[in-house]
Structure 1
Amino acid sequence: MTEPDLAKVAYELRHELAEHLVGEGWLRSPEWRAAVEDVPRHEFVPRFYVASDTPGATTYVPITPELVGDEAWLRQAYANETLLTQFDGREIDWSGPQPISDANPTSSSTLPSLVVRMLEALEVDDGMTVTEYGTGTGYSTALMCRRLGADRVTSVETDPGVAARAAAALERCGHRPRLVVGNGLDGAGLHKPADRTIATMGVRNIPEAWVRETQPTGIILATLRGWMRSLGLVRLVVDDEQTATGRFIAGEPHFMIARQQDAPQSLGMVPGLEDGTTRTTPHGPELLRIYDSGFVAQLAMPNARFFTMQADDGPVNTYVLDSTNDSFAVLSPDGDGWTVRQGGPVPLWDEVERSLALWHTAGAPGPSEFGVSVTAGSQRVWLGTPSGPSWSLPIV
């Protein structure tokens, strides 16, 4: 049996991927389709991990040509999946890779459907310049180089090792964009603002530098998120006063949060049994896990996180903790309903209930009915119109 021509297989897989993305409605313009068909994704993911479908705790399994064979590795490299390349900010020992559990992914090649969806939403034209925050493997960087020319692309990566591998892969593919290693939240050090800014990591707010380094009428595309969940992809237009306004785009991209804005290791102080005041509540903790209501809860409690824990010989309680000010809410089952015990300077569950009431009054719309306004020293998410109900984003 003859060995497959891997270059031919990769060529066919790129075209199959493009056809799939077109069929699903993500890939619409001929220019971006040409980029997907031309850029060899496998050059940017020579080895990677994917999530296993084994029940139980999330486990990631390694995929390399040596482990699964060249053709199987190639086919996985062109799957519409996120391919993980780093965990917990540490280098992977590829001399004998093993399955990984209880780890936090910190770098990846994002699933292509989300990549092209974001690139299409940038609405670039020939001659425009783009700044990317979160180089990662460099695959999306290469797509932009193919579309616009490498001299019009700047990409910023915080991790030196990740940046070096991306630079080498881009070089192999003939692309030499301006690559910056550093904290992207501080900007890219541009001498002239870019026409477009795109971020492939989640941020708790829009960095002032991104607004400053984007041309008036330019677009910023980024994922806002909190410590509980992603809020979603937001598309902002910058104006002459270095402010920006826009709306969320439907869907919930799960980008890793910028390392400089990650949550503290400690969840906060677990309250004592007698701490706080108790009352009934019509809302149980399930609302925190549902997309739309969870979106609203994240807005109401921007610094909170939650977990469940069983009391001694008692029910399973849900603890909502704000580690920045020691506010807390403890949700406990009470017959067919719930009670909440809360304390600290901010009544967390009161804030959730107030926000849910505003949301339900508006007809419980999805995130695409929410928008974002960014001004100097203030950032807020609003419902319906900029003059509607609003929630402040944390200024980090």
Structure 2
Amino acid sequence: MTDMDSTALRWALADHLAADGSLRTEPWRKAVEAVPRHEFLRGGFFERSADAWRPVLADTDGWLERCYADESLVTQIAGTIVPCDIRGEILRAPTSSSTLPSLVVRMLEDLQVEEGHRVLEIGTGTGYSTGLLCHRLGDDLVTSVEVDAEVSRRAGAGLGACGYFPELAVGDGLVGHKDGVPYDRLVATCGVLELPYAWIEQTKPGGIVLATVCGWMHSSELARLTVGDDGVAHGRFLGGQISFMLARPQLPPPLGMLPDLESGEERSARLGADVLNGWDARFVAQLAAPRAQRLSLTLADKTQHVMVDVEAGAWAALTREGEQWTVRQGGPAQLWDQVEDHLLRWRADGSPAPDRFEVIVTPEAQRITWPKS
């Protein structure tokens, strides 16, 4: 199959996205049918091979078809490494990708754009979603910010190959982009621990901010907020258990040397570590401890489930004996106390799903609450 055949692939992708409910309106369908995703993947991508990643280059059989599959395609590893840099496999972590089209399109639909809206995109990535925005609104109404200059350059090349020339800025997207304010819509294609007030401030009253709220225990929810005349944004999570790579300035720090897990204070736990296996419960736990990282250690046939907040110097380690859980905690904060309190209140209120939570962002703070039973 040649590049000339991508028209059929784009149409097939649009059919697939419409069938699964991601693609809901005709303007965005026309954008999906028009914008060639493969132009943003000319440098290839990485595919998973056991615990490693191996490159798939543009001259590989099946590359073009893979570009139009509804899957996320990793395009950068370890902050600098692209597919053409590798012969064989690499064990490092992904740092940039082309998000699966169904999520891209779902978010663009949820953004509720209208003709004439000015949009700020946080996280250019490959540029595919930027291209869809340009097709829908026109280049002059689209600004996209990317923290990685080389990623932005490659996105610009892909956009130019498609005939799109939006404003591309390189910088920390967490501070937005003041040059084009105010924006009617702001959409982030990276996850954040907290929604920056700069995004609210740069969106006009009545405008919408769409972004994913994450934590370091890897549960996340997509939030849509409307900015009020008073500069306060109100909204809800939209549900769907989506996830994005975290904004680079908010990536978790290295764990380094673990604390002495035999120190601290021990007690019987009201909840065990297995409660964190559920997506919703883990998201609620993150609201109590958003900067806690989670890992498991097995020593002498005993597994310890550990949470560590490196910045705060707090930790908790849980072990199980039969049906009973024990927790040992140390540092300036009692991490598991905070998590238990939050989860038990949530359960007492009927364990409402995150799409019933309310999100409020003020100049001072982000506040997330759920309805009481």
TM over 0.5: yes
The answer for the alignment partner of 2:230 in structure 1 is 241
The answer for the alignment partner of 2:55 in structure 1 is 62
The answer for the alignment partner of 1:287 in structure 2 is 275
Runs of 4+ deviating beyond 4 Å: none
Distance 2:290 2:237 in 1: 17
Query: Which of the numbers 108, 113, 124 marks the counterpart of 1:124?
Result: 113
- Deviation, structure 1 residue 268: 6.4
Q: Is the 8 A contact 2:111 2:210 kept in 1?
A: yes
Query: Which of the numbers 152, 166, 172 marks the counterpart of 1:183?
Result: 172
Is 2:81 the counterpart of 1:91? yes
The answer for the alignment partner of 2:68 in structure 1 is 78
Question: Residue type of the partner of 2:107?
Answer: M
Question: Residue type of the partner of 1:182?
Answer: G
Q: What 5-or-longer segments of structure 2 have no aligned partner?
A: none
The answer for the alignment partner of 1:49 in structure 2 is 45
Distance 1:233 1:131 in 2: 17
The answer for the alignment partner of 1:254 in structure 2 is 243
Is 2:135 the counterpart of 1:146? yes
1:260-299 correspondence runs (5 A)? 260-266=249-255, 269-273=258-262, 275-299=263-287
- Deviation, structure 1 residue 282: 3.8
- Deviation, structure 1 residue 254: 1.6
- Cα root mean square deviation, aligned: 1.7
Question: Residue type of the partner of 2:291?
Answer: N
1:300-319 correspondence runs (5 A)? 300-311=288-299, 313-319=300-306
Distance 1:284 1:138 in 2: 43
| Aligned partner of residue 179 in structure 2, secondary structure | coil
- Deviation, structure 1 residue 284: 1.9
Deviations 1:323-377 (A, max 9, x none): 1221111101122221111122211111111111111112112211112110111
Question: Residue type of the partner of 1:24?
Answer: D
Change (3 A) 1:124 1:262: same
Distance 1:234 1:137 in 2: 23
Is 2:372 the counterpart of 1:355? no
Distance 1:85 1:272 in 2: 38
Is 2:324 the counterpart of 1:337? yes
TM-score, normalised with respect to structure 2: 0.96
TM-score, normalised with respect to structure 1: 0.90
Distance 2:351 2:21 in 1: 27
Change (3 A) 1:282 1:260: same
Q: What 5-or-longer segments of structure 1 have no aligned partner?
A: 390-396
Question: Residue type of the partner of 1:117?
Answer: R
Distance 1:353 1:268 in 2: 26
Identity %: 44
Is 2:6 the counterpart of 1:6? no
> How many residues are aligned here?
373
